[in-house]
């Protein structure tokens, strides 16, 4: 049973880690590129900070699950990082709708 939990932990944290790394570097690269509007900049800041927080939570999950041997707590931390991803998306939607540039396309 423990091997199944470890496989589940590695699969979930690996997938979420790849998402966080890709979106973090993508948002940083977009912030560095010259033509960016104020709305796009605020979105990129939220994504970069949120993805950094997700990576921090995943490091904490690794410490819990692998280094301390608490797989249940590690899987809970991975679930928390998925919740953080949802909150990042909701924050971006809120920023866009407040700025008035929300287009459903």
**pLDDT-based confidence at 104, cuts 50/70/90?**
low
**DSSP 3-state helix, strand, coil percentages of the chain (rounded to 5)?**
85, 0, 15
Of 1-5, 7-11, 76-80, 101-105, the range with the lowest mean pLDDT is 101-105
Residue 37 in this model has a pLDDT that exceeds 80: no
Q: How confident is the model at residue 33 (pLDDT cuts 50, 70, 90)?
A: confident
Name the one residue in this structure whose structure tokens are 């997938």.
15
Angle between helices 71-99 and 2-32 (to 10 degrees): 30
Of 70 and 33, more confident? 70
Q: Residue 76: pLDDT above 90?
A: yes
What region does 100 belong to: left with phi over 0, alpha with psi -120 to 50, or beta? left
Residue 38 has pLDDT above 90, yes or no: no
The predicted pLDDT at position 39 comes to 59
Residue 35 confidence (pLDDT): 66
* Packing angle of the helix pair 71-99, 38-62 (nearest 10 deg): 170
d(CA 16, CA 20): 6
Helices (H), 33-70: 38-62
Cβ atoms of residues 98 and 33 within 8 Å: no
């Amino acid at each position: 049973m423990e091997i199944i939990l470890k496989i589940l932990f590695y699969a979930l944290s690996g997938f979420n880690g790849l998402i966080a790394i890709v979106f973090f570097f993508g948002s940083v690269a977009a912030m560095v590129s010259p033509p960016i509007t104020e709305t796009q900049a605020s979105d990129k800041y939220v994504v970069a900070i949120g993805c950094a927080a997700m990576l921090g939570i995943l490091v904490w999950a690794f410490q819990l699950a692998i280094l301390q041997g608490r797989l249940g707590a590690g899987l809970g931390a991975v679930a928390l990082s998925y919740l953080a991803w949802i909150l990042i998306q909701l924050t971006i939607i809120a920023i866009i709708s407040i700025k008035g540039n929300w287009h459903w396309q």
